[in-house]
Amino acid sequence: MPIHNADIAAIFEEIADLLEIQEANPFRIRAYRNAARTLGELSQDVRVLVEKGDDLKRLPGIGDDLSARIREIVATGHCSFLERLRTELPPAVTELLKIPGLGPKRVKTLYHDLEVQTVEQLYRAARDGRIRALSGFGEKTELNILRAVEAHVSRARRFKLVVAAQYAEALRTCLAAVPGVKQVTIAGSFRRMRETVGDLDILATAMPDSPVMRRFTAYDEVAEVLSAGAKRASVMLKCGLQVDLRVVAEESYGAALQYFTGSKAHNIAIRRIAQTHGLKVNEYGVYRGEARIAGESEESVYRAVGLPYIPPELREDRGEIEAARAGRLPQLVELADLHGDLHVHTRATDGRNTLREMALAAQAQGFEYLAITEHSRRLTVAHGLDPLRLARQCDEIDALNEQLTGITLLKGIEVDILEDGSLDLPDKVLARLDLVVGAVHSKFDLSRARQTERILRAMEHPCFTMLAHPTGRLIEKREPYDVDMLRIIRQAKKRGCFLELNAHPERLDLLDTYCQMAKEEGVLVSINSDAHSSFDFANLRFGVGQARRGWLEARDVLNTRPLAELRTLIKRTMQPSKGVLS
């Protein structure tokens, strides 16, 4: 049975939860959580790394113990340590930890004093007023628990794109290898590169005698077959992700792909246009009366309604149809357009690889330049750089640039923007660099006015080049902080600086709608990996997907520029002579 990163991550999360209920050593718990995060967000399949004999310890947060656990899971599909822990506690207890407001301590009390082991039992205990009597709970907590359980049960689970991709790509490979199968495409929100995916919608064409349906419902990771017919089936995977498969006739493939790619709003708008032409569009084709006039390709569907092909990432009914009509569709940026990356870390702070390793990995991506942007001293958890260590790294970069050919390292920093908008390193230190990437890593909950002022002030600094992950959101974990993004974008315009689109799968920040805003205001966006290891460059594809959803063309993206042009653009932001240093 193929093991995915997300499976291992889930095992490690569960281990961390169980250790927490047992009140184990906090460092040990954190090690499992960090490892789960690393795996959950990694683009490469860990199983493949294991099979290739790669050293897993090169991954962030993976030491000897965890590396051995991963090998065991990949080899056997099981984790003996987790199994031992599970026998020590009732099975549904970890589910209780997912209820907001319930930590391991409370779960322990509920379990020991009320014999609450499942979410249903928790709900009943709260409803019947039995929880308020427990020490450390009270009536208000009980009510909060009741509300949280209701919300928990009704919330439809969504999957981060990178996680959905791990399942989708494995399943596509499997289905494509079934005899008689011709085409397999993952449609739906996955194809539109939405940052999260509700379920997977797979479309296939196959010979009539192909066993594709049987193979699909018998796929190793299926937990439950929800429905199964000759042409369509739905399954629930063990990880909780639902997958729908439809097998369509070749002549309808384009129409079905167009229909199941969505979005629903886009499809409705397309059908309305079709009606004005006296046409009918459905998943089988485009019809004039009884006659089918298009449907074998998506292009043919759009052509039939008088439109050029619209790329999936734009299909949200956010102006793409009007733009298509007017012949003003953007020529969307592609991964191959990138000439470099302007935000990465190395072993000097919380990254995994050396300068040289990162440089070579960037070169293997086909990049011409790579900016090294470590954390600054304030971020002590990441072992941020002080002026001395930064100066030493700058010397190392100079020396390395002498040796390397075909790739140029740029000297940068990801400097903390402090609460008052000042930067975490002295001006003189910043002035020596090629670029300064500013980031908010603290005080996320300031008022909108204060958070905006803080960032605007940081951008006033004569050495400020780029604002990293501008809203600070972590998908499904932390809401964006409250800022006036239009003012920030206008400040960037005024100062000639740039906004980052951080391609880390948990960030994808700038958000797509703000990309559009930046483009309209004439501010260039830089698609950066924020790589903490040489593997992380693979995440750039998700950043590019987000940029495409934000209508960005190559010319709207800073790091599509060749090095010489890039240098000119970033030099303009570094104006120490005009500022404090003069």
Residues that bind ligand DGT (CB under 6 A): 188-189, 194, 197-199, 201, 259-260, 262-264, 267-268
Q: Which stretch binds Ca ion (CB under 5 A): 26-34, 136-144, 186-194, 335-343?
A: 186-194
Rounded least distance, CB 296 to ligand DGT, Å: 19
Interacting partner of 260 out of ligand DGT, Ca ion, none (Cβ under 5 to 8 A depending on kind):
ligand DGT
> Which partner in Ca ion, ligand DGT, none is near 17 (CB below 5 to 8 A by kind)?
none
Dist CA 442 CA 141 (whole Å): 28
CB under 5 to 8 A by kind: which of Ca ion, ligand DGT, none does 268 bind? ligand DGT
Quote the CA–CA distance of 81 and 182 in Å, as a whole number.
43
Contact indicator for 241, 159 with CB cutoff of 8 Å: yes
Min CB(201)–ligand DGT separation in Å: 5
Least Å from the CB of residue 209 to ligand DGT? 28
What distance in Å separates the CA atoms of residue 498 and residue 572, rounded to the nearest whole number? Answer: 11
Question: What is the closest distance, in whole angstroms, from the C-beta atom of residue 199 to Ca ion in the complex?
Answer: 4
Tokens of 84: 């031992």
Q: Is 316 in the site for Ca ion (CB under 5 A)?
A: no
Q: Closer to ligand DGT at the Cβ: 199 or 374?
A: 199
Contact call for residues 455 and 467 (beta carbons, < 8 A): yes
CB 511 to Ca ion: min, Å: 20
Q: Which of 78, 232 has the CB closer to Ca ion?
A: 232
CB-wise, 216 or 369, nearer to ligand DGT?
A: 216
Interacting partner of 285 out of Ca ion, ligand DGT, none (Cβ under 5 to 8 A depending on kind):
none
Closer by beta carbon to ligand DGT, 267 or else 526: 267
Site for Ca ion in 450-509 (CB under 5 A): none
- What is the sign of the dihedral through the CA atoms of 43, 46, 49 and 51? negative
Other beta carbons less than 10 A from residue 132's beta carbon:
15
Burial annotation 359-372 (CB, 10 A radius, 16+ → b, else e): bbbbbebebbbbbb
CA-to-CA distance for 443 and 437, rounded, in angstroms?
Answer: 18
**Residue number, 99 or 168, with CB nearest to Ca ion:** 168
Q: Which two tokens stand for residue 553?
A: 């063309």
Residue 5 or 189: which CB sits closer to Ca ion? 189
| Contact between 201 and Ca ion per CB under 5 A | yes
The item of Ca ion, ligand DGT, none sharing an interface with residue 320, based on CB under 5 to 8 Å by kind, is none
Are 519 and 488 in contact by the 8 Å Cβ rule? The answer is no
Give the amino acid at 364.
A
Q: Which does 262 bind (CB under 5 to 8 A by kind): Ca ion, ligand DGT, none?
A: ligand DGT
What is the closest distance, in whole angstroms, from the C-beta atom of residue 45 to ligand DGT in the complex?
Answer: 23
Q: Which is closer to Ca ion, CB of 161 or CB of 485?
A: 161
For residue 481, the Cα-to-chain-centroid distance in whole angstroms is 18
Residue labelled with tokens 């309209």: 520
If one asks whether residue 199 binds Ca ion (CB under 5 A), the answer comes out as yes
Is residue 285 a contact point for Ca ion (CB under 5 A)? no
Torsion of CA 5, 7, 12, 15, to 10 degrees: -170
CB of 244 or CB of 530, closer to Ca ion: 244
Q: Please list, in sequence order, all residues whose beta carbon lies within 8 angstroms of the beta carbon of residue 341, skipping any fewer than 6 positions away.
A: 362, 365, 367, 369, 370, 371, 528, 529, 531, 537, 540, 559
CB of 242 to ligand DGT, least distance (A): 8
* 194: nearest Cα among 271, 266, 299: 266
Taking the least distance from each CB to Ca ion, the nearer of 189 and 546 is: 189
Q: Shortest gap between Cβ of 243 and ligand DGT (angstroms)?
A: 10
Applying CB under 5 A, the span of 16-24, 199-207, 467-475, 548-556 interacting with Ca ion comes to 199-207
Q: How far is the CB of 277 from ligand DGT (least distance, A)?
A: 17
Contact yes or no for 305/293 (Cβ under 8 A)? no
Answer for which of 60, 188, 285, 412 binds Ca ion (CB under 5 A) is 188
Nearest to 514 by CA among 574, 556, 451: 556
The conformation of residue 240, written as its DSSP 8-state character, comes to S
CB-nearer residue toward ligand DGT: 201 or 556: 201
Binding mask 236-275 for Ca ion (x = CB under 5 A): --------x-------------------------------
In the complex, least distance from residue 195 CB atom to Ca ion, rounded to whole angstroms: 13
**Distance, CA of 143 to CA of 149 (rounded, Å):** 10
Site mask for Ca ion (CB under 5 A), range 11-50, x = bound:
----------------------------------------
CB contact at 8 A, 355 and 400? yes
Residue 480 contacts which entry, Ca ion, ligand DGT, none (Cβ below 5-8 A, type-dependent): none
Least separation in angstroms between residue 198's CB and ligand DGT is 3
Cα separation, 265 vs 252, in Å, equals 21
Q: In the beta sheet, which residues pair with residue 376?
A: 385
Q: Which residues does 448 contact at the CB level (< 8 Å), separation at least 6? A: 482, 483, 484
Closest residue to Ca ion, judged by C-beta, is 188
φ, ψ dihedrals at 328, nearest 5°: -115, 30
The count of other CB atoms within 10 Å of the CB of residue 1 is: 9
Binding mask 145-184 for Ca ion (x = CB under 5 A): ----------------------------------------
Residue 368, contacted partner among Ca ion, ligand DGT, none, CB below 5-8 A by kind: none
Asked if 424 is part of the footprint of Ca ion (rule: CB under 5 A), the reply reads: no
411 in Cβ contact with 436 (< 8 Å): no
* Pick 260 or 514: Cβ nearer ligand DGT: 260
Contact 301/255 with Cβ under 8 angstroms? yes
**Between 7 and 244, CB nearer to ligand DGT:** 244
Q: How far is the CB of 475 from ligand DGT (least distance, A)?
A: 13
The dihedrals phi and psi of 370, each to the nearest 5 degrees, come to: -150, 125
Rounded least distance, CB 197 to ligand DGT, Å: 5
Please measure the distance between the N-terminal and C-terminal CA atoms of the chain and give it in whole angstroms.
65
In angstroms, what CA-CA distances link 51 with 74, 375, 399? Answer: 9, 34, 36
**Given the rule CB under 5 A, which residues bind Ca ion?**
188-189, 199, 201, 244
